Amino acid sequence: MYSFKNDYAEGAHPRILQALMESNFVQEDGYGGDQFTQKAIDILKQKLENTEVDIHLLSGGTQTNLTAISAFLRPHEAVIATSAGHVFTHETGAIEATGHKVISVETEDGKLNPAQIKEVLDLHTDEHMVKPKLVYISNSTEIGSIYNKRELTDLKEFCKEHNLLLYMDGARLGSALCSTENDLKLSDISTLVDAFYIGGTKNGALLGEALVICRNSLKEDFRFQLKQKGALLAKGRLLGIQFYELFKDDLFAELAQHANDMAAILRAGCSAAQLSFLIDSPSNQIFPILPNYLITELQKSYSFLIWEKVDSTHSAIRLVTSWATKEEEVRSFVKAIKQIVDAKRVI
Amino acid sequence: MYSFKNDYAEGAHPRILQALMESNFVQEDGYGGDQFTQKAIDILKQKLENTEVDIHLLSGGTQTNLTAISAFLRPHEAVIATSAGHVFTHETGAIEATGHKVISVETEDGKLNPAQIKEVLDLHTDEHMVKPKLVYISNSTEIGSIYNKRELTDLKEFCKEHNLLLYMDGARLGSALCSTENDLKLSDISTLVDAFYIGGTKNGALLGEALVICRNSLKEDFRFQLKQKGALLAKGRLLGIQFYELFKDDLFAELAQHANDMAAILRAGCSAAQLSFLIDSPSNQIFPILPNYLITELQKSYSFLIWEKVDSTHSAIRLVTSWATKEEEVRSFVKAIKQIVDAKRVI
Amino acid sequence: MYSFKNDYAEGAHPRILQALMESNFVQEDGYGGDQFTQKAIDILKQKLENTEVDIHLLSGGTQTNLTAISAFLRPHEAVIATSAGHVFTHETGAIEATGHKVISVETEDGKLNPAQIKEVLDLHTDEHMVKPKLVYISNSTEIGSIYNKRELTDLKEFCKEHNLLLYMDGARLGSALCSTENDLKLSDISTLVDAFYIGGTKNGALLGEALVICRNSLKEDFRFQLKQKGALLAKGRLLGIQFYELFKDDLFAELAQHANDMAAILRAGCSAAQLSFLIDSPSNQIFPILPNYLITELQKSYSFLIWEKVDSTHSAIRLVTSWATKEEEVRSFVKAIKQIVDAKRVI
Amino acid sequence: MYSFKNDYAEGAHPRILQALMESNFVQEDGYGGDQFTQKAIDILKQKLENTEVDIHLLSGGTQTNLTAISAFLRPHEAVIATSAGHVFTHETGAIEATGHKVISVETEDGKLNPAQIKEVLDLHTDEHMVKPKLVYISNSTEIGSIYNKRELTDLKEFCKEHNLLLYMDGARLGSALCSTENDLKLSDISTLVDAFYIGGTKNGALLGEALVICRNSLKEDFRFQLKQKGALLAKGRLLGIQFYELFKDDLFAELAQHANDMAAILRAGCSAAQLSFLIDSPSNQIFPILPNYLITELQKSYSFLIWEKVDSTHSAIRLVTSWATKEEEVRSFVKAIKQIVDAKRVI
């Protein structure tokens, strides 16, 4: 049984484990006061071509989202997200638990645009309603789509004009930036959003997200927020070592590229088998629509998520690839599809 | 420069890193649904001699405290802790951030007893005040003292009688249980408290605390709390692998014993040099009172915390040992004390 | 200029002011410990034909909703409401500010039914999502519709079966119960929901809502919640005196009946002028659809809310009547409509 | 039985009830958008000799404290108060329920001074602890003492220097300002603190506190906070009418003066009977120390609070006077003391 269920099924890239081994007995200060965290932050600033940002390393995406968003907002301020947005549906009300409403917008492609945000603003007219303040986007999105530079620039300008904060959840930012359809550089992002995070957990780390705070007014006292929300690891070195390893010579990009390459093979294989897709997702998640018999057959050897029922005989599935996905397994999966489909046709 | 500043200055015990390496490419479900987490939970229940408890693995102490306590209390209910209690002073108001007051009690020895709790209850008489509900104790305490079986039993009985919850912060539980003055077994604890955690971070793990929920009424839906508070790691295996390794053949106890042994050498060395102690702490933290000239000399080769000024020429320092503390460094430190003190006497 | 904008444009019914005058110099205990509050609670229990409920008097609707709901839910539990629900849109995120998500359901008629709730439950399948726990309904709803006994019974049974709490916002319960289409008695309600409140502010009081807690498990320590949320008035008598006056001989029902009667005249007048309605609302709020020229003319002498644009030449307006609405003004308004419409036709 | 238990035992000053009657049928906008609220705010600004402040009318003290303080602080910021401070002990953790720790300071006289605050700041050194940000004082204090101009100016300067906010709870501000020992004018206060409130409930109103926000940076979007915390009354006129009546020709000061005069008679009577006082409180609360037999005798005709046991034969009691306290009752009480004491002496 091989899994395409998610991009966190394995441990960490071996170079990361190696780095943990090598540094293991060096004594360091706790809570991120260690040399490794500092080196990680330095290399990240270099890659971002921006030394003015503040960078903090956290353990996971929900933790990063809740710590950042609750720190950035006053009590009456709210988040705008798509209804597929991770903070809206898949974080057990973590944002609301810190006191803030998440306003959702229905979208086709998982992406927010200024017109949609404008509609929300127009509905929130006075103090009897929350005040929409932070626009939450994910790149890549929860359904694998990505923002291009034009789209992100439009959002930035709209947010600036309307005094909104723009926050990007980058749990899968590596995959987005390595997409063949991407025209954004990592160094563009800190000039386009107010804060974002670079996901490590889904791109080769054991755990870890690097939160980048770009807007000056959001930086003050952020370490207090980390501690209060339980996000300051005693052995902060664990995060520093990993991010340094991921960025010191572009391992991060290599791993994301591999994940995307594997997804491309899966995508091509599905297309070759005449399968259509629920959405055009040029990253490491794809959503082919399969006849149910094919799903049943594939489930004998592969695990994956059934995303949604399309009609009485078809469902969309989700296939996710990662830095650890094996090319031979991908090719076997594609071959299996072809064989099962061909066999069916013959019958 | 060798550090006695804390018990989280190094990485993890090599066997833990080894276990991470060996399991690295096994595909597992996320969020604690993996075989390693299950094995860790199973071995822990076995060691606790209690299969009825619920066990959850979290990343750190503050995270564990805030997730558990906010899950256990209703909005008007409060925590009772010593004024040295970690939740009262050193977690940046994490408990208050979830809505609950922490009521503090001054103590000499860092421990709570029924009489002190009774005084708090007597002051909280009606709905204009919070309702004290959860008694928070640490074992070992923040100043290295430990609870014996009689003391813990008394607390349990008092709490039961007054409908209070008893919660033990076990960040340094290993050291407490391996103390020469200890008469508690790990298997006693789940019968004496309503919930507690077993600290991994300060006893050989990269990170990780095992929360044990003993009281049935506190168990329901706890995984929702984990997710909401950002405490559910995508790669939950990281915690499972470590706790399994720590407990499968008593590595946990071995490491704590080593830390205590190292502290014992330091304690004996201080005593031999006629130094007194701020508090009698039979665990891995000791608080000798040193003349200031001695502190100044020692600081040239060792780092440690200056805990508090005792008089114009003396201060108490805190020395912490861990699973990773090297005996040769401990012996050098003791020798250094003797030499400096002797040199001074000669003059 | 006469206002049909809301049902809180005037002060209180004169009998209430009279009662305040008469009791003014009687010394009483504070915070609801006075004889008037006790009398109000006693008479309410008598009217409810239920002495087992707990009753608390609060100042306003948002305060009542947030205090009750936050007391009833654990951190991960969420509210289900219609997208028109007051807690979802018009309380500035008051529920979220206490930590709980409000899940919204689109409806035509402002009412929730079991099938809609079932859909929400089906989407919330595990601990990565909030757990829907409390069903929030308003009677009458925010758009003037009302629940009948069958509908409420169905909800009750569904909630019981799915372990959900059923909570009714009764800001306009008086109007609902006095509707010609109503078949519920006040005494039915405490047997059908877990908690509800009887709105005084919109039915003759200066301020005041009577929260009725029916389910035993929700009653404990509720006065602590009142105090913590700032809902316990020092001069609780102010609420007690009013509710006693409203209920001691059915003033409450008389006032609601008057409001409904006035709405009925408006409704009939609009129908007579061939106007249609956005929704069938048999209570004290009506939503006729008017040609824009008619709105413009009416605005010269009357104030009311423009509810929503219907097409390029028509909008729905909201007309609200109350205990204080003057019949002569209502009749003048109806006459004005007729005259303006007739004049237009002649042209 | 006559009560000296508190200053909220009666209703409202008759002129306030009269004003409610007279305005009762004037139609006004809700939620503070009425002419009466505007007039109240205008007259208050005039009395404060400061048109730059923002003023909001709320229902009670706990509500005002929690709404203001939670609006003013970021998540990691904390309050400093005396251990007698209302927010620390008598508001059921209302501040903590909004997420903020209240740090307490022991005092003799119920007042905070810069040296005490400095000690708190010195203990809070890094992100592992909350950040003290808002200094909460009450004037008069919970034990009847008052701040003079020098003390308040010192606090203001210290707070400015250390970037702290200074907030004054003025539940009994009227009594403080009318004290014979007071040298502060109402118009001084808005220049000395960042925000404060003027208590109506304890000085002649049915309910109502006027929050004055002096510092510009605290003003933005405050009405959102009011609504979110359930503090925005639908019939905001109820508060506006009362505050306008209290301030349009100094009724507020007259009522406070009466309360203080009544307390002065009680104080003099106690002194004449050779009784000492627990604290020197020059306002409407006094704390004479009585032999227990005297307490027992007085309790037959008067109700009051037994504040604390002083020794085996004496206790301090609290006597509170108000705008409504009757001089004849005060004189009877004094006479009763004299008679009982004299009778005892004879024996």
Chain D stretch 169-228, residues whose beta carbon is closer than 8 A to a beta carbon of chain B: none
D130 close to C (CB below 8 A): no
Please give the C-alpha separations between residue D304 and each of B175, D310, D324, in angstroms, as whole numbers.
54, 17, 16
- Hey, are the CB atoms on B94 and A229 less than 8 Å from each other? yes
- Hey, are the CB atoms on A233 and B207 less than 8 Å from each other? yes
A93 close to D (CB below 8 A): no
Between vectors from CA B337 to CA B332 and to CA B342, what angle results, nearest 5°?
Answer: 125
Which residues are paired to B3 by β-bridges?
B303
Q: Which residues are within 8 A (CB) of D261 and not within 5 positions of it... i.e. 6 or more apart?
A: none
> pLDDT > 70: what percent of chain B?
100
Cβ-based contacts of B130 with chain C (< 8 Å): 224, 228
- With beta carbons less than 8 A apart as the criterion, state whether C60 and C238 touch: no
Residue of C247, C254, C255, C251 lying closest to C45 (CA atoms): C247
- Hey, are the CB atoms on C76 and B131 less than 8 Å from each other? no
Q: What are phi and psi of D228, to 5 degrees?
A: -60, -35
The pLDDT tens digits for B209-234 are 999 999 999 999 999 999 999 999 99
**What was the pLDDT predicted at A336?**
97
Given a cut of 80, is residue D116 above it in pLDDT?
yes
pLDDT grade for C125, boundaries at 50, 70 and 90: very high
Given a cut of 80, is residue D86 above it in pLDDT?
yes
Between vectors from CA D206 to CA D203 and to CA D210, what angle results, nearest 5°?
Answer: 60
Spell out the domains of chain B, with CATH numbers in brackets. 2-6+252-346 (3.90.1150.10), 14-249 (3.40.640.10)
Largest Cα–Cα distance in chain C?
Answer: 68
The pLDDT tens digits for C227-269 are 999 999 999 999 999 999 999 999 999 999 999 999 999 999 9
The pLDDT of C272-300, averaged and rounded, is 97
Question: Residue by residue, what is the 3-state secondary structure of B75-139?
Answer: CCEEEEEECCCHHHHCCCCHHHHCCCCEEEECCCCCCCCHHHHHHHHHHCCCCCCCEEEEEEEEC
Q: What are phi and psi of C145, to 5 degrees?
A: -75, 165
What is this model's ipTM?
Answer: 0.97
Cβ-based contacts of A93 with chain C (< 8 Å): 76, 78, 99-101, 130
In terms of pLDDT, which residue wins out, D346 or D242?
D242
pLDDT grade for B346, boundaries at 50, 70 and 90: confident
The pLDDT tens digits for D263-285 are 999 999 999 999 999 999 999 99
The pLDDT of D187-216, averaged and rounded, is 98
Q: Which residues are within 8 A (CB) of D93 and not within 5 positions of it... i.e. 6 or more apart?
A: B76, B78, B99, B100, B101, B130, C228
The pLDDT tens digits for D121-131 are 999 999 999 99
The pLDDT of B224-249, averaged and rounded, is 98
C124 close to A (CB below 8 A): no
Give the closest-approach CA distance of C214 to chain D in angstroms: 23
Separation of alpha carbons D304 and D312, rounded Å: 20
Cβ-based contacts of A92 with chain C (< 8 Å): 76, 127-130
Cβ-based contacts of D99 with chain B (< 8 Å): 93, 96-99
Give the closest-approach CA distance of C124 to chain A in angstroms: 9
Closest residue, chain A, to C74 (C-alpha): A97
Of A127, A226, A227, which has the smallest distance from its Cβ to D223's Cβ? Answer: A127
**What was the pLDDT predicted at A344?**
85
> pLDDT > 70: what percent of chain C?
100
**What was the pLDDT predicted at C347?**
66
**What was the pLDDT predicted at A347?**
66
pLDDT grade for B105, boundaries at 50, 70 and 90: very high
> pLDDT > 90: what percent of chain B?
99
Question: Residue by residue, what is the 3-state secondary structure of B282-311?
Answer: CCCEECEEEEHHHHHHHCCCEECEEEEEEE
Query: Is the peptide bond preceding residue A83 cis, with omega within 30 degrees of 0?
Result: no
Separation of alpha carbons C199 and C197, rounded Å: 6
Separation of alpha carbons D238 and C200, rounded Å: 14
B254 close to A (CB below 8 A): no
Q: How many other CB atoms sit within 10 Å of the CB of residue D14?
A: 12
**What was the pLDDT predicted at B347?**
66
Interface test with A, best of B62, B67, B86, B302 (most A CBs within 10 A): B62
Residue of C131, C68, C116, C71 lying closest to A93 (CA atoms): C131
Closest residue, chain C, to D89 (C-alpha): C228
Separation of alpha carbons D284 and D261, rounded Å: 8
Task: Give the ranges where A220-250 is alpha helix by DSSP (H).
Answer: 222-228, 237-248
Which residues are paired to C20 by β-bridges?
none
What one-letter code names the amino acid at C158?
F
**What was the pLDDT predicted at D345?**
79
**What was the pLDDT predicted at D347?**
66
D309 close to B (CB below 8 A): no
The pLDDT tens digits for C198-226 are 999 999 999 999 999 999 999 999 999 99
**What was the pLDDT predicted at B294?**
97
B70 close to D (CB below 8 A): no
The pLDDT of C315-332, averaged and rounded, is 98
Q: What are phi and psi of C152, to 5 degrees?
A: -70, -35
C92 close to A (CB below 8 A): yes
Which contiguous run of DSSP H or E holds residue D259? helix D251-272
With tokens 């997730």, the residue in question is B67
| C277 secondary structure, DSSP code | B
Of C71, C74, C128, which has the smallest distance from its Cβ to B227's Cβ? Answer: C128
Cβ-based contacts of C61 with chain A (< 8 Å): none
Of D90, D93, D130, which has the smallest distance from its Cβ to B93's Cβ? Answer: D130
3-state SS, residue D28 = coil
**What was the pLDDT predicted at B345?**
79
Low-confidence ranges of chain A (pLDDT < 50): none
**What was the pLDDT predicted at B76?**
98
Interface test with D, best of B77, B101, B105, B134 (most D CBs within 10 A): B101
Give the closest-approach CA distance of C291 to chain B in angstroms: 50
Cβ-based contacts of B224 with chain C (< 8 Å): 75-76, 127, 130-131
